[in-house]
């Protein structure tokens, strides 16, 4: 897939078919995430793959976007390892790059996903449910699946609105 095709045509997918996503595909998606740049090549990201339906339902309880998670074939739960961090801003930026790589990989494989951030309001609950130490700080949950049919539109500011200066 052409890089610009991937960037411009990726959309957040919030409704999925019941078709499963294989563990192999989920690992490929995470691998693409780990090829994101990170400050000092620190790679502070950590992941939990959730395919178990009961655990997906448990995760869903931690967000007002419950329906999205409930309908997903799988979730990739993204953490930053606070014990592996060297710089707060830069390590968090690296996680963002990692997540975007994963979203593009999802799109490239013909799946769909949405980056869920609202669930961070319950970050400790999610971490405890997954039985992880306090050093694992929740960054996002990606709900993943085969996109249900439907038009997905998204808008952006014109690029001229966000370029501050041309010098
Ligand atoms: C940091 C962050 C947090 C987000 N949290 C949520 C969320 O909790 N629920 C949701 O439905 N979408 C969430 N999104 C997806 C955005 O709503 C979506 O990316 C945006 O509306 C643009 O749409 P597009 O991804 O289809 O281009 C989040 C995106 C980002 C980057």
Q: Can you list the domains of the chain with their CATH numbers?
A: 3-148 (3.40.109.10)
Q: What angle is formed at CA 78 by the lines to CA 92 and CA 127, rounded to 5 degrees? A: 105
Mean per-residue pLDDT, 53-76: 98
* Per-residue confidence (pLDDT) for residue 150, from 0 to 100: 87
d(CA 53, CA 89): 34
Atom of ligand 1 nearest to the CA of 65: 9
CA atoms of 72 and 3, how far apart (whole Å): 26
Q: How many CB atoms lie within 10 A of CB 98?
A: 26
Buried b (16+ CB within 10 A) or exposed e, 11-43: bebbbbeeeebeeebbebbbebbeebebbeeeb
* pLDDT tens digits, 106-118: 999 999 999 999 9
If phi over 0 gives left and psi between -120 and 50 gives alpha, with beta otherwise, what is residue 8? alpha
Alpha carbon of 114 to ligand 1 centroid (Å): 6
Q: What average pLDDT does the segment 103-132 reach?
A: 98
- C-alpha–C-alpha distance, residues 79 and 56, integer Å: 17
Q: How high is the pLDDT of residue 1?
A: 83
From 64, 101, 116, the mutation candidate for ligand 1 (largest count of ligand atoms within 8 A of CB) is: 116
Q: Given pLDDT bands bounded at 50, 70 and 90, which one contains residue 94?
A: very high
DSSP-assigned beta bridge partners for residue 143: 75, 114
Q: If you measure from the C-alpha of residue 144 to the centroid of ligand 1, how many angstroms do you get, rounded to a whole number?
A: 13
pTM (predicted TM-score): 0.98
Enumerate residues lining ligand 1, CB below 6 A. Answer: 11-12, 14, 65, 114-118, 154
* pLDDT of res. 96: 98
Is a pLDDT exceeding 90 seen at residue 54?
Answer: yes
Ligand 1 atom nearest the C-alpha of 103 is 25
> Nearest-5° angle of CA 98, CA 41, CA 117?
25
Distance (angstroms) between ligand 1 centre and the Cα of 167 equals 32
Distance of CA 113 from the midpoint of ligand 1 (Å): 10
pLDDT at residue 66, rounded to an integer: 98
CA-nearest residue, atom 9 of ligand 1: 116
Atom 13 (ligand 1): residue with closest C-alpha? 116
Nearest-angstrom CA–CA distance, 48 and 137: 12
């Amino acid at each position: 897939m052409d890089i610009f095709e991937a960037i411009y045509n990726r959309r957040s997918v919030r409704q999925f078919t019941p078709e499963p996503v294989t563990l192999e595909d989920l690992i490929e998606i995470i691998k693409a995430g780990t090829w994101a740049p990170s400050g000092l090549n620190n790679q502070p990201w950590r992941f939990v793959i959730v395919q178990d339906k009961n655990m997906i339902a448990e995760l869903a309880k931690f967000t007002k976007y419950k329906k999205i998670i409930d309908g997903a074939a799988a979730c990739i739960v993204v953490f930053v390892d606070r014990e592996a961090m060297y710089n707060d801003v830069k390590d968090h930026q690296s996680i963002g790059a990692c997540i975007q790589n994963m979203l593009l990989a999802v799109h490239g494989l013909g799946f769909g996903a949405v980056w869920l951030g609202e669930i961070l309001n319950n970050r400790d609950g999610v971490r405890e449910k997954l039985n992880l130490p306090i050093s694992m700080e929740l960054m996002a949950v990606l709900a993943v699946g085969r996109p249900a049919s439907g038009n997905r539109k998204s808008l952006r500011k014109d690029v001229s609105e966000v370029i501050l200066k041309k010098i």
